[in-house]
Structure 1
Amino acid sequence: MDVPDTRRIVLLGKTGAGKSSLANTIFGEEVFALNHTLNSETKQCQAKTKAINGKKVTLIDNPGFFDPGRSEEDMKPELLKCFTECAPGPHAFLIVLKVEKFTEHEKAVVKQMCEHFSEDALTHATIVFTHGDQLPEEMKIEEYIRESDCLSDLVKKCGGRCHIVDNKYWKNNQQDEYRSNNFQVTMLLNTIEKIVTEKDGGYFTNEKLQAVESEIQKEEERIRRSSVNMPQEDIRHTAKSNVCKKQVEKASWTWKNGFVGLAVITGLLATVTAVLMKVLYYQKQK
């Protein structure tokens, strides 16, 4: 059952956009692990919960969609974990972009988001720009967006919602309120609350997320019967972990079967080809 005072927020963006740092900025402390390497920001889906302004906020930080060192099969367990962590559905998506040229990579992030969730997910989305120190002096992010037709179109699809932070330089800015993470995070959380209000307290969901939630609830009931004294929060956490593990195993087994099937077909084709070659050879000999 959904908890009214819980907000589930999914962070999406390409590798190096600053998703984990943004999550830490929102929480006001170093909760999410950072991996400062050349090719990677976050290798695994991370989900953390903290109370903010009387509400439980769960941030789900996902691996970059475009890590060149990871295959689609390697990413699949993380996507399944994302679905499990945000079931029955996220209240908001944060599409994280750097203050820099809007390239095909950024466009592809949005495309993949719509493929994994749906186009309707954009009605729950907010664009959050990082590296705010790159924003020209005296310029606000809305002005920056107007300089790019692609960005303007994306923000329009997201209901005009956009914010900017600087995880490194705007931590204790007292002179300029706009260039302050405290100010921007407050505005961001207000935007998320506005989305929830506009959706009558609802969240984004689809058949996949509903199916995952159904499995979680069945697992919760099983755990509840076997562990009578376990707190509900622990039951929920254990149920999600178990369901995620089962889904990953199922996906892995499906992929392996598909691979084996492909190998069998390939082997049969090779055998048939060899037989045909022999037949043609003997016909020529005659």
Structure 2
Amino acid sequence: MDKRKKGSTTELRLMMVGSSGPPQFLLTNAILGREEFLPDTSSISCSRKSTGDLAGRRVALINGPNIYDKDISRAKRKMEQRKAKCLTIPGPHAFLVAFDIEKISPNEMRMPKLMKQRFGRQCLKHCVVLLACEGSIDAAALEDRVQSNWHLRELVEKYGGRFHFFSKDWRDRSQDRELLQKVEWMVASLGGGCFSSRTFKTAEDSVRKEEKRLRRHRAAEMEKAWTEMEKQCIAEELYCRKDAYAASVGAEIRAKAEADNGWLRTSLARGLGTGLVVGAVMGALVGAIEGPGGMVLYGVIGGAVGGSAGGTAQVAIKHMENRVAPPARLNFNSIFINRFFATSRI
């Protein structure tokens, strides 16, 4: 069940979502007012968190790989989805769904369904559509275009009819105040909290647990630093320096916990484990051509390669099953492989 959780009033957490190409990264540059991503950035392989100001409000922007990126394996994509959620805990106040107004394709209609699968059933209530435009913004003309183009209108309606135009030129900040108002009004209409779901709660629990572990690990170091400060500082300066030091260490611990915690490590281990097994099966199938000895040799090699590749090998194994051997021989190989793994586990 999705829940709304009260978020911080000092920082607005925004998750950027793009289907293809550079719009989400251009939007990040426009919101931050700096070139966080190069203009030709069309996708990233690892989720990133950036902070800055939008019309005077502190914001945290979380970017992940494009939702349709075909160059990323399934295991890697799931890992990045988890990482993006860890970077956004306790949940985003808004999802900003970016499109290029000149390149809307029928494929974009699948976006809402994919978002609900990946973030939670109620996430569309927390979305604002951002339409990237070239040159200066003529809001009235662009709104007429959305209303008269059934394709655009239907897309926007899937996100509750909320949309905003932004310039691809990050130096143009004329729309900042209006965008902030639209996001804040949406958040207020939903009770003033942030979006959350079961997986966001799992991410939050895992990050909090990792924070506690890191704090325990650094407790002696912090105590030593405070002792040194007490020797060097007078009372008022001591409190200021202690607070600054604690804030600095806290931010460092939080960043480390978001980037590496038990939930993420579990996801990585599962991906590697799946790749190991699938890779070994692929190797054994290839080795079958060389006879039983070749099956064992290629099975070991395939396992090593598959472990590094993660879930990518799952597609290849189906291809190998169709092309390497006839069905009767495949059944024999499956029996041999199962016995091989059973023996190796003992």
Normalised by the shorter chain, which TM-score bucket?
Answer: 0.7 to 0.9
Tell whether the 8 Å contact from 1:131 to 1:166 is kept in structure 2 after alignment.
Answer: yes
Of residues 23, 32, 47 in structure 1, which corresponds to 2:28? 23
Shift of 1:223: 1.6
**SS at 2:174 equivalent:** helix
Q: Please name the residue that 1:241 is paired with.
A: 259
Q: Please name the residue that 1:214 is paired with.
A: 205
Shift of 1:227: 1.8
Shift of 1:84: 1.2
d(CA) in 1 for partners of 2:121, 2:190: 16
2:215 aligned with 1:224: yes
d(CA) in 1 for partners of 2:64, 2:72: 13
Shift of 1:91: 0.5
Q: Please name the residue that 2:167 is paired with.
A: 166
Query: What TM-score, normalized by structure 1, do the two folds share?
Result: 0.78
Q: Indicate how the Cα distance of structure 1 residues 8 and 254 shifts in structure 2: closer, same or farther if over 3 A, else same.
A: farther
CA offsets per residue over residues 97-143 of structure 1, 9 Å max, x none?
111253233223333212101341111000100124498x7853321
d(CA) in 1 for partners of 2:329, 2:54: 68
Q: Please name the residue that 1:13 is paired with.
A: 18
**Structure with bigger gyration radius:** 2
Identity fraction in percent? 25
Moved more, 138-147 or 198-207: 138-147
CA offsets per residue over residues 156-175 of structure 1, 9 Å max, x none?
3433211111223x84xxxx
d(CA) in 2 for partners of 1:117, 1:211: 12
d(CA) in 1 for partners of 2:57, 2:37: 23
Q: Please name the residue that 2:189 is paired with.
A: 198
d(CA) in 2 for partners of 1:139, 1:4: 32
Structure with the bigger percentage of helix: 2
Shift of 1:248: 4.2
Tell whether the 8 Å contact from 2:55 to 2:177 is kept in structure 1 after alignment.
Answer: no
CA offsets per residue over residues 206-233 of structure 1, 9 Å max, x none?
1011011011111111122222335322
2:271 aligned with 1:252: yes
Moved more, 16-25 or 103-112: 103-112
d(CA) in 1 for partners of 2:30, 2:210: 34
Q: Please name the residue that 2:90 is paired with.
A: 88
Q: Please name the residue that 1:34 is paired with.
A: 38
Tell whether the 8 Å contact from 2:13 to 2:94 is kept in structure 1 after alignment.
Answer: yes
Q: Which amino acid aligns with 1:212?
A: A
Query: Would you say how many aligned residue pairs link Structure 1 and Structure 2?
Result: 263
**SS at 2:15 equivalent:** strand
Tell whether the 8 Å contact from 1:102 to 1:151 is kept in structure 2 after alignment.
Answer: yes
CA offsets per residue over residues 37-80 of structure 1, 9 Å max, x none?
6xx43333221112445543110112222334333234233222
Q: Please name the residue that 1:125 is paired with.
A: 127
Q: Indicate how the Cα distance of structure 1 residues 242 and 271 shifts in structure 2: closer, same or farther if over 3 A, else same.
A: same
Q: Which amino acid aligns with 1:21?
A: L
d(CA) in 1 for partners of 2:159, 2:139: 25
Tell whether the 8 Å contact from 1:93 to 1:126 is kept in structure 2 after alignment.
Answer: yes
d(CA) in 2 for partners of 1:104, 1:197: 32
**SS at 1:160 equivalent:** coil
Q: Indicate how the Cα distance of structure 1 residues 218 and 259 shifts in structure 2: closer, same or farther if over 3 A, else same.
A: same
d(CA) in 1 for partners of 2:62, 2:78: 16
Q: Which amino acid aligns with 1:66?
A: Y
Q: Please name the residue that 1:140 is paired with.
A: 141
Unaligned 5+ runs, structure 2:
1-5, 223-245, 289-294, 296-320, 333-346
d(CA) in 1 for partners of 2:180, 2:120: 23
**SS at 1:250 equivalent:** helix
Q: Please name the residue that 2:63 is paired with.
A: 61
Q: Please name the residue that 2:328 is paired with.
A: 273
d(CA) in 2 for partners of 1:16, 1:6: 28
Q: Indicate how the Cα distance of structure 1 residues 271 and 165 shifts in structure 2: closer, same or farther if over 3 A, else same.
A: closer
Shift of 1:238: 1.5
Q: Please name the residue that 1:174 is paired with.
A: none
d(CA) in 2 for partners of 1:48, 1:265: 45
Query: What TM-score, normalized by structure 2, do the two folds share?
Result: 0.66
Tell whether the 8 Å contact from 1:141 to 1:163 is kept in structure 2 after alignment.
Answer: no
Q: Which amino acid aligns with 2:152?
A: L
Aligned-residue Cα RMSD (Å) equals: 3.3
Unaligned 5+ runs, structure 1:
172-180, 278-286
